[in-house]
Amino acid sequence: MVRHFLKDTDLTPAEQAQVLDLAASMKADRYGYKPLAGPQTAAVIFDKTSTRTRFSFHAGIAELGGNPLIVNPGEAQLGHKETISDTAKVISRMVSTIIWRTYAQAGLEEMAQHSRVPVINALSDDYHPCQILADLLTIREHKGQLAGLTMVYLGDAANNMANSYLLGGATAGMHVRIAGPDGYLPADSVIAEAQQRATETGGSILVTTDPDQALVGADVVITDTWVSMGQEDEKEARAQVFKPYTVTSEAMNKAADGAIFLHCLPAYRGYEVTAEVIDGPASVVFDEAENRLHAQKALMAFLLAESKLATDVRTALS
Ligand code: CP
């Protein structure tokens, strides 16, 4: 069976831990793993702009011995001249992995349904699961564990990052607290799925409009831009709505001693986070950005091995 990674719960708790362990091993031996030797090509398709996702997948595929095929917005027939299903049937005969940054989650699901090779969500309107793997790797590096830690996300809680923190954090056995204003909270279906996962792992879920309730005792404090792609015209109006959720030094002081700050970047200093916090000693945002590379390399190797499409992964997967 071909394995895909379209949202965070596509990995079981044990599998997520296995991918993070492999990512740590790959980080320690950066050029030692070649599951894409051949070289096999991995396609990275962008319907939206990117810095971290583009660079980390391009470099990561090359480091795994493969050939990265980057497709920029508008360069393929996909979505305007050709259906997703026909595209999947064609390109999955040519490449080993399909990585796609797009809008609709349903599009990713359709791509996966018709693909012979793993499909990876490189950000959709609903989830950004590759980012959360990198974040979990970063938290584990700095705090030594995941299960039992309290991870707090403040801001636009109706976006793809909040959804993925709920699902990915619950999978890791973390206590996930999400705080945002009324009207900008996660969908009930996502909360329910996270709660189900947390029940299995010993984690917990709290969704609130009160940032102080979320911050008390937090080990990890996270935010994201208030202006996602396509919302640029609403920037100042959204800034008023989200202002009480800004991560300031005062907010960090409400968290636990030694709390760390994460942001998936790009960041807008003076909006969702102050410069004092993101450029201060609690911030691990550049470790987090680097870990996109290591986490995604491990994810690709894992999916190929589990799909029986790679046999030379020098890991403990077998
Ligand atoms: N965090 C993130 O996905 O960055 P890019 O949009 O630059 O890829």
Ligand 1 neighbourhood includes 51 CB (under 6 angstroms):
yes
Specify the pLDDT at position 79. Answer: 80
DSSP 292-317: HHHHHHHHHHHHHHHTT--S---SS-
What's the rounded Cα separation, in Å, for the pair 21 and 28? Answer: 11
Ligand 1: nearest atom to the Cα of 130: 3
Ligand 1: nearest atom to the Cα of 122: 3
Ligand 1 neighbourhood includes 50 CB (under 6 angstroms):
yes
| 292 annotated active-site | yes
Ligand 1 neighbourhood includes 55 CB (under 6 angstroms):
no
Specify the pLDDT at position 313. Answer: 57
Does the pTM exceed 0.75?
A: yes
Q: In three state form, how does the secondary structure of 241-283 look?
A: HHHHHCECHHHHHHCCCCCEEEECCCCCECCCECHHHHCCCCE
Catalytic one of 52, 131, 219, 296: 131
Catalytic one of 4, 52, 101, 175: 101
Tell me how crowded residue 162 is: count the other CB atoms within 10 A of its CB: 28
Closest to 2 in 3D by CA, of 118, 136, 140, 135: 118
Ligand 1: nearest atom to the Cα of 128: 3
Catalytic one of 135, 156, 219, 224: 224
Closest to 177 in 3D by CA, of 210, 131, 137, 129: 210
Instruction: Say if residue 258 is exposed, middle or buried (CB neighbours under 10 Å; 0-12, 13-18, 19+).
Output: exposed
Catalytic one of 175, 177, 263, 292: 292
Ligand 1: nearest atom to the Cα of 265: 1
Specify the pLDDT at position 318. Answer: 46
What's the rounded Cα separation, in Å, for the pair 91 and 43? Answer: 8
| 264 annotated active-site | yes
Q: Are 84 and 98 in contact, with CB atoms under 8 Å apart?
A: no
Q: What is the best residue among 46, 53, 128 to mutate for testing ligand 1's pocket, by most ligand atoms within 8 Å of CB?
A: 53
DSSP 112-147: HHT-SS-EEES--SS--HHHHHHHHHHHHHHHS--T
Closest to 221 in 3D by CA, of 276, 139, 163, 157: 139
| 101 annotated active-site | yes
Residues of the chain predicted below pLDDT 70:
310-318
Q: What is the best residue among 120, 123, 124, 286 to mutate for testing ligand 1's pocket, by most ligand atoms within 8 Å of CB?
A: 123
Ligand 1: nearest atom to the Cα of 56: 8
Specify the pLDDT at position 254. Answer: 98
Catalytic one of 238, 264, 294, 296: 264
